[in-house]
Chains A and B, each alone.
Chain A
Amino acid sequence: MKTQKLLLTFLKDSVDKPIVYHLVKDFDLITNIYRARITAEEKGSLILDITGSEENIDKGIAFIKEQGVTVDDAQKSFRWDEAVCTSCGNCLTHCPVNALHIQDTATMKVIFDSELCIDCLGCIDNCPYGACQSIFQE
């Protein structure tokens, strides 16, 4: 069993396809949706974890692609720009999973662990410098 986090991008002709239903039913994958959005331009985005055997995950991803849906590493939805970050740390109490955290108290450098990020976007409103960005930003 492994878990993989994905960012799916649906274009106009694929927004009405029940992809997640098929991932569960046809490929025996456990899904955990973090965030989904459909825009007025009929473009959809979905971030989810899929958990299952490696074989089923590969088959599931192949199926998604066959539906004309783009599959990316989920971190393409959220971007922490290290060059813009000043390591002030104002984000720290707004990140519930410590994806943004302090490296050590000697340097107080802020670092980002994308594996832990759940795309809650709590950091975005609370970064004074605009170092946190997401495709889900309003």
Chain B
Amino acid sequence: MKTYTEINEKIASKKAVVLTAAEIIDYVDKKGLEKAAKEVDVVTTATFGPMCSSGCFINFGHSTPKIRITEAWIDDVLAYSGIAAVDLFMGATQLRHNDPANLDYPGEFRFGGGHVIEKLIAGKELQLFALSYGTDEYPRREIRTTFTIHDLNQAIMVNPRNCYQNYNVAVNRSNRPLYTYMGMLKPNMGNVSYSSAGQLSPLLNDPLYKTIGIGTSVWLAGARGHVYAEGTQHTSDVLRSINGVPEEGAGTLALTGDMKEMDAEFIRGVSLKGYGVSMAVGVGIPIPVLNEEILKYTTIRDRDIKAQIIDYSYDYPNKTGKTLGSVTYEALKSGKISLMGKERETSSMSSYEKALKIANLLKGEIEDGTFLLTEPFKKLPVNQKMKSLFVKDGRS
């Protein structure tokens, strides 16, 4: 048994033993759970992939004369301005003004909120265009200027739903191509798309939320961020298998961090043909090895993590709840799975390679004594169901 304080003391004196969630598997196999739990202090987990429910709040400071912004665009992407005078919220999936979207189907969706956020973090120059109706104390009615992140007072990323614990595996049983957030799905199950870092993924290594909770310090694209709430659609009452690992969506985290500390390698604008724009986010989360039970959860491996195969041509849009069975991440990562009597090629939306890089970067920061752990001050809900939206006007 170790405490957060003891682990942090070891980290501060640069003596903490840290392994990634990939390394810990063989380590525990070799040393045994009891010995490994004594030796290892922290296991680092990570994920990198499109996380639509992301965005940022920014504050510009005041111009002379002052403006109370009521409509605003950054690089022609609409920012939400229904907050204070020079505060704006930029959402990751907001499409650039005048983008034809799917009018010419499938649309290209080249630029949106996620790209704006990537440019900001990269220190590039962006254009602000804002309007106002003007008031006595904020007389300016229009503003057009350029800025970089360094000109802003604050640029705080706020992501209501990141780090989905597990995710669907998408196929297309129809006879036409589908353009989805899981990429282009070929007709007649011509490809299989998944999206999880599997054995490296944060919430798959802490399936029952024993250490990751509200207040947990996280590595958010290189910045020191934290979990500020349960993520939207956090659903913990789900189908679970070995070690309590969910076989479907399940838990999520709401994350925040200072964009001025971030690295643009880990926040990337995403264009998905026929679907829209999004943003890929890189997150690393340390798991303190408080006891053998917590260590055991981190030894989960791809062959023991299953995900549900869903038909995105019918069952997903119509919410039938039907699945075509389950498949392990080991099989998915091999490049081919057998489904309905045929071998089918697999591909991923989430990058295991980037996740591995993040897990190692976080490991380095903890070994160097620069990243301390935080004990959550509130647990994530463990028996929460997902509500549906019932349409009350009589239409289904």
Q: Does B225 contact A (CB under 8 A)?
A: no
Q: Which of A98-127 contact B (CB under 8 A)?
A: 102, 105, 107-110, 125-126
Contact check, A108 vs B271: say whether CB atoms are below 8 A apart: no
Q: Does B50 contact A (CB under 8 A)?
A: yes
Bound state CA distance, A87 and B48, in angstroms? 10
Bound state CA distance, A35 and B382, in angstroms? 56
Bound state CA distance, A46 and B273, in angstroms? 27
Secondary structure of the B contact surface, majority rule = strand
Contact check, B334 vs A105: say whether CB atoms are below 8 A apart: yes
Q: Which of B1-9, B183-191, B385-393 contacts A (4 or more CB under 8 A)?
A: B183-191
Bound state CA distance, A129 and B349, in angstroms? 11
Contacts of B178 in A (CB 8 A): none
Contact check, A93 vs B186: say whether CB atoms are below 8 A apart: yes
B interface vs A, CB < 8 Å? 48-50, 183-184, 186, 190-193, 268-273, 278, 280, 333-335, 345-354, 356
Evaluate whether A89 and B356 lie within 8 angstroms (CB atoms) in the complex, with A105-B333, A126-B183 already known.
no
- List the B residue with the shortest CB-CB distance to A98: B335
- List the B residue with the shortest CB-CB distance to A89: B348
Q: Does A6 contact B (CB under 8 A)?
A: no
Bound state CA distance, A94 and B348, in angstroms? 12
Question: Which of B186, B346, B353 contacts A107, CB < 8 Å?
Answer: B353
Within the complex, the shortest CB–CB distance from B89 to chain A, in Å, comes to 23
Bound state CA distance, A93 and B354, in angstroms? 20
Question: Which of A94, A102, A128 contacts B270, CB < 8 Å?
Answer: A128
Q: A86-B351, A92-B335, A125-B273 are in contact. List 15 more A-B contacts (CB 8 A).
A: A86-B354, A87-B352, A87-B354, A88-B49, A88-B350, A88-B351, A89-B348, A93-B191, A93-B345, A93-B346, A108-B356, A110-B353, A128-B272, A129-B271, A130-B271
A interface vs B, CB < 8 Å? 86-94, 102, 105, 107-110, 125-126, 128-130
Evaluate whether A88 and B345 lie within 8 angstroms (CB atoms) in the complex, with A93-B186, A105-B333, A105-B334 already known.
no
Evaluate whether A128 and B184 lie within 8 angstroms (CB atoms) in the complex, with A105-B334, A107-B353 already known.
no
Secondary structure of the A contact surface, majority rule = loop
- List the A residue with the shortest CB-CB distance to B48: A86
- List the B residue with the shortest CB-CB distance to A86: B351
Contact check, A128 vs B352: say whether CB atoms are below 8 A apart: no
Within the complex, the shortest CB–CB distance from A126 to chain B, in Å, comes to 6
Question: Which of A92, A110, A128, A130 contacts B345, CB < 8 Å?
Answer: A92
Contact check, B272 vs A91: say whether CB atoms are below 8 A apart: no
Contacts between the two chains (Cβ within 8 Å), count: 74
Question: Which of A87, A93, A130 contacts B351, CB < 8 Å?
Answer: A87
Contacts of B193 in A (CB 8 A): 90, 93
Contact check, B349 vs A90: say whether CB atoms are below 8 A apart: yes
Within the complex, the shortest CB–CB distance from B282 to chain A, in Å, comes to 9
Contact check, A91 vs B347: say whether CB atoms are below 8 A apart: yes
Contact check, A90 vs B268: say whether CB atoms are below 8 A apart: no
- List the B residue with the shortest CB-CB distance to A130: B271
Contacts of A128 in B (CB 8 A): 50, 183, 270-272, 278, 280, 349
Q: List 26 A-B contacts (CB under 8 A).
A: A86-B268, A86-B280, A86-B351, A86-B353, A86-B354, A87-B354, A88-B280, A88-B348, A88-B350, A89-B348, A90-B348, A90-B349, A91-B347, A93-B346, A93-B347, A102-B335, A105-B334, A108-B351, A108-B356, A125-B184, A126-B184, A126-B273, A128-B280, A128-B349, A129-B268, A129-B271
Contacts of A108 in B (CB 8 A): 333, 348, 351-353, 356
Bound state CA distance, A48 and B283, in angstroms? 44
Bound state CA distance, A109 and B354, in angstroms? 9
- List the A residue with the shortest CB-CB distance to B302: A105
Bound state CA distance, A93 and B346, in angstroms? 6
Contacts of B345 in A (CB 8 A): 92-93
- List the B residue with the shortest CB-CB distance to A88: B351
Contact check, A87 vs B50: say whether CB atoms are below 8 A apart: no
Within the complex, the shortest CB–CB distance from A32 to chain B, in Å, comes to 25
Within the complex, the shortest CB–CB distance from B358 to chain A, in Å, comes to 12
Contacts of B280 in A (CB 8 A): 86, 88, 128-129
Closest 6 CB pairs of A and B: A87-B353, A93-B191, A108-B352, A92-B347, A93-B345, A88-B351
- List the B residue with the shortest CB-CB distance to A110: B353
Bound state CA distance, A92 and B345, in angstroms? 8
Within the complex, the shortest CB–CB distance from B357 to chain A, in Å, comes to 9
